[in-house]
Structure 1
Amino acid sequence: MNEILRMSMNEMAEADFDCSCGRHHSLPIKKIAIGKGVINQLPEVAAAFKGKQVYMISDNNTWKAAGEKANRMMTEAGFEIKNYIFERGKEILIPDELAIGRMLLEMPLDTALIVSVGSGTLNDMAKYLSSRTGVPYIIVCTAPSMDGYVADGAPLICNGQKISYVATLAYGVVGDTDIMKAAPMHMIHAGLGDVLGKLTALTDWSLAVAMIHEYRCDTCVKLVEEALQKCITNAPLLKERNEEAILYLIEALTLTGVTMAIVGVSRPASGSEHLLSHYWEMDFIARHKYPELHGIKVGIATPIVAEIYELLKDDLPAETKALVPRREFVEKLLRSAGAMISPKEVGIERELFYRSLMEANTVRKRYSVFQYAKDQGRLEEVAEIITERIYGK
């Protein structure tokens, strides 16, 4: 029972066990390689496809970071590679109809394996393409920036709206800390923000259990909490690109993806903080503005959600009350790594901020502290208090 609690990150591939939560869990990912120098294991991870057509996707930044080396290693090992490199300047790559369509158009008919070299956007597009074509994919991680490397959802932009499509899990994950510690610091901050979001995500999950009797797997909760604690302890070292801190960060991000995969829902990793992030992003896209990185917005949203919980603390169920993180604690962790903490720093105006607090519960059908505050008749009060604290009267 729960042998996954005794496994290392790399041993979790193809985990299959009966859990104390009463369910049987399995992780169909074939290979996980996280650690120093593991990009050298890429030909071994992809060995089942040797001699077959491989479609490698990157952008001009990730090509320099890891794509060129991955291409050379696989070519020398006997793989047939077709590369497609998205060219972009300073703008972020938007995973919309144009990008997805272009990626599909460039894909060889006899592709046996997709290899995506990148982080959030390139991973999401590859897993979507994989799910629609039936061709497995491997992700070569280039930044510890988000938790979707081993998740089966693909948040994409369609008709200006952010929609999380059901996609597929990766065949293999290769995360080399030598590569990821050299990622732009902004992306490392994004990873930290995404990890700290688990503080409020787990609190939301507890609230949903207490209020609407939602299913929860305590094994998954324990896995996330243990990984989260390592990141919290080492957060100040991220600004120095400390290798151990980077390893704990990518392990936590990967592990929360594993927990999502084995329980089949995103509860272990995503709560009210993600609802705010998605709301802000959809507003920016609708106004043709480039949104901030997902994890940066999640990091900013997490202390805000923590403050909502603090304001409602006296009325919360006892178990949930015990999990509530303090706003100042989360902000201190973000500051210790040099990350942003205010919505004003990413261009979120007062009107958008207030509206997001009032309407975040509409982003997706999921019980959250926003719904709880609304049901208690206190959402408007809470929104006004927090908006005035950040933006003034």
Structure 2
Amino acid sequence: MNEILNMSMNEMAEADFDCSCGRHHSLPIKKIAIGKGVLKELPGVAAEFKGKQVYMISDNNTWKAAGEKAHAFLVNDGFKVKSHMFETGNEILIPDEAVMGRVLMEMPLDTALIVSVGSGTLNDMGKFLSSRTGVPYIIVCTAPSMDGYVANGAPLICGGRKISFVATLAYGVVGDTDVMKDAPMHMIHAGLGDVLGKLTALTDWSLAVEMIDEYRCDTCVKLVEKALKRCIDNAAALKERNEEAILYLIEALTLTGVTMAIVGVSRPASGSEHLLSHYWEMDFITRNKYPELHGVKVGIATPIVAEIYEILGADIPEATRKLCPKRAFVEELLNSAGAMISPKEVGIERELFYRSLLNANAVRNRYSVFQYAKDIGRLEEVTQKITERIYGK
């Protein structure tokens, strides 16, 4: 039982087991290859589709990072590949209706496999396209920037709002640390922010168990905690692009994705910190402003959520209170890696910040510390205190 706790990351593909939580879990991902130099293993991961049409999507940045080599590995091994690269220049690729329409229009009718080369956006595009066409997809990771590589949700922009669509899990994941260690440092910081968000996500999950008797899988909690520890212990080395630290970062991101996949909900990886991040992002997109990387905003939001728990203090059930990190601890981890800490650093004005704390809980139907603070009549007090600390009186 729970043999998955003793498996390496790459051994977890197609895991299938009866869990101590009382449920049966399975991970339908066929192949996981994460480590040094594994990009060359892509033809082996995709071997089932050799001789059939492969559709590769990338942008100009991810093409340079790994797409060109991935394409060559496949073609040289006898694969038939059509590649579509989005020219974005220095702009961020926004996965809205126009972009998703274009990626579908470029897809050959006889496509048997989709290969996405990228991180957050291109991965979300690939999995959404896969879920709507029934064609499996492989993700070639180019940055350790987020935890969605093995998750089945696809956050896309629709009608100006960020909506997390139910999509599908990847057929395979290829994450080469030789590629990811050279990712823009801002993306590495985003990955660290997303990982640290698990600290408050697990706290929120505990609060939901205590307050509304929500289901929780302790095996998933242990997997996330194990991954968190190694990443946190090596956080400071990320600013040096230390290969071991990068490996622990992508493993932590992937493992939290695995837990979401086997438990069927995003609770192990997403809590109040994600609600804040999504609120800020939707506001920025509505105003045609650059929304900043998801993980960067999650990293900034995490110590804020930790502070909410600190302010509520004894009002929080004891079992949950023991889990939550201190704001200073999270900020020090971010600072040690050179990551941003303040919402002001990403252009979040006082009014938006104040409003986000009051309204973030409406972003998703999920029990959180925001809902708890509202239920006990302390949300406005908490919002005022934190806003004044950051922006002044």
Partner of 1:119: 119
Q: Return the alpha-carbon distance in structure 2 between the equivalents of residues 54 and 324 of structure 1.
A: 45
Partner of 1:70: 70
CA offsets per residue over residues 114-157 of structure 1, 9 Å max, x none? 00000000000000000000000000000000000000000000
1:329-340 mapped onto 2 (5 Å cutoff): 329-340=329-340
Matched residue type, 1:74:
L
CA offsets per residue over residues 49-70 of structure 1, 9 Å max, x none? 0010000000000000000000
CA offsets per residue over residues 267-306 of structure 1, 9 Å max, x none? 0000000000000000001111110000000000000000
Cα offset, 1:329, TM superposition = 0.3
Q: Return the alpha-carbon distance in structure 2 between the equivalents of residues 72 and 363 of structure 1.
A: 42
Partner of 1:257: 257
Partner of 1:26: 26
Cα offset, 1:202, TM superposition = 0.1
Matched residue type, 1:369:
V
Partner of 1:5: 5
Q: Return the alpha-carbon distance in structure 2 between the equivalents of residues 143 and 27 of structure 1.
A: 23
Q: Return the alpha-carbon distance in structure 2 between the equivalents of residues 18 and 323 of structure 1.
A: 27
1:353 paired to 2:353:
yes
Partner of 1:208: 208
Matched residue type, 1:306:
A
CA offsets per residue over residues 1-59 of structure 1, 9 Å max, x none? 10100100000000000000000000000000000000010000000000100000000
Q: Return the alpha-carbon distance in structure 2 between the equivalents of residues 192 and 34 of structure 1.
A: 18
Q: Which has the higher mean CA deviation after the structures are superposed, 250-259 or 310-319?
A: 310-319
Q: Return the alpha-carbon distance in structure 1 between the equivalents of residues 44 and 171 of structure 2.
A: 13
Say which SS state the counterpart of residue 57 (structure 2) adopts. Answer: strand
CA offsets per residue over residues 64-111 of structure 1, 9 Å max, x none? 000000000100000000000000111100000010000000000000
1:1-393 mapped onto 2 (5 Å cutoff): 1-393=1-393
Q: Return the alpha-carbon distance in structure 2 between the equivalents of residues 360 and 37 of structure 1.
A: 41
Matched residue type, 2:130:
S
CA offsets per residue over residues 243-288 of structure 1, 9 Å max, x none? 0000000000000000000000000000000000000000001111
Q: Return the alpha-carbon distance in structure 2 between the equivalents of residues 328 and 317 of structure 1.
A: 21
CA offsets per residue over residues 352-377 of structure 1, 9 Å max, x none? 00000000110010000000000010
Say which SS state the counterpart of residue 149 (structure 2) adopts. Answer: coil
Matched residue type, 2:325:
P
Q: Return the alpha-carbon distance in structure 2 between the equivalents of residues 252 and 34 of structure 1.
A: 12
Matched residue type, 2:133:
T
Say which SS state the counterpart of residue 339 (structure 2) adopts. Answer: coil
Say which SS state the counterpart of residue 366 (structure 2) adopts. Answer: coil
CA offsets per residue over residues 337-392 of structure 1, 9 Å max, x none? 00000000000000000000000110010000000000010000000000000000
Matched residue type, 1:59:
D
Q: Return the alpha-carbon distance in structure 1 between the equivalents of residues 231 and 24 of structure 2.
A: 29
Matched residue type, 1:317:
P
Q: Return the alpha-carbon distance in structure 2 between the equivalents of residues 321 and 60 of structure 1.
A: 46
- Give the alignment's Cα RMSD to 1 decimal: 0.3
Cα offset, 1:312, TM superposition = 0.7
Q: Return the alpha-carbon distance in structure 2 between the equivalents of residues 384 and 317 of structure 1.
A: 23
Cα offset, 1:324, TM superposition = 1.3
TM-score by length of structure 1 reads: 1.00
**Uncovered stretches (5+) of structure 1, i.e. residues with no partner:** none
Matched residue type, 1:376:
I
Cα offset, 1:313, TM superposition = 1.7
Q: Return the alpha-carbon distance in structure 2 between the equivalents of residues 269 and 388 of structure 1.
A: 29
Cα offset, 1:196, TM superposition = 0.1
Q: Return the alpha-carbon distance in structure 2 between the equivalents of residues 324 and 62 of structure 1.
A: 36
Matched residue type, 2:77:
A
Matched residue type, 1:229:
K
Q: Return the alpha-carbon distance in structure 2 between the equivalents of residues 158 and 277 of structure 1.
A: 17
**Uncovered stretches (5+) of structure 2, i.e. residues with no partner:** none
TM-score by length of structure 2 reads: 1.00
Say which SS state the counterpart of residue 68 (structure 2) adopts. Answer: helix
Cα offset, 1:318, TM superposition = 1.2
Cα offset, 1:112, TM superposition = 0.2
